[in-house]
Amino acid sequence: MSINPSDKIVLEGMQFYGYHGVHAEERVLGQSFIVDIEIVLDLRPAGLSDDIGDTLSYSVVYAIVKGEVEGPSKSLLESLAEGIAQKVISNDIVVSTTVRVRKANPPIKGAVVSTVGIEIYRTKNCDY
């Protein structure tokens, strides 16, 4: 049986305070981060059984993201997103994930920008 690529768990707009960035001030003062994640997996078993054991709990996903964003400082959003993606993709039932990480009110001299961010897509058995 193949996986329906339309089956997804989605968490949007998760907000955390973290200490990530290239500039020393970002790592000392911290800032707000917004994370969205889409996880492709087969939701049919959970739909048929109505059993949380047949899916990936939103709480587990939230805890992974929170642990990464509120964890040790990283210079790049790319590294932060990669850490999230690798932890999520390590779950046996996950096929792929898309992770978006944004900084709210980024420190860009002379610019007014509400957010900046990155998006990565990771899948199992992918040799880039």
Closest CA to 95 of 51, 44, 50, 49: 44
Known active-site residue 103:
yes
CB 38 within 8 A of CB 23: no
Indicate which residue of 87, 103, 109, 124 is catalytic.
Answer: 103
Closest CA to 36 of 121, 126, 124, 127: 121
CB 72 within 8 A of CB 21: no
CB-facing half-sphere around the CA of 72: CA atoms within 13 A: 2
The set of catalytic residues is 103
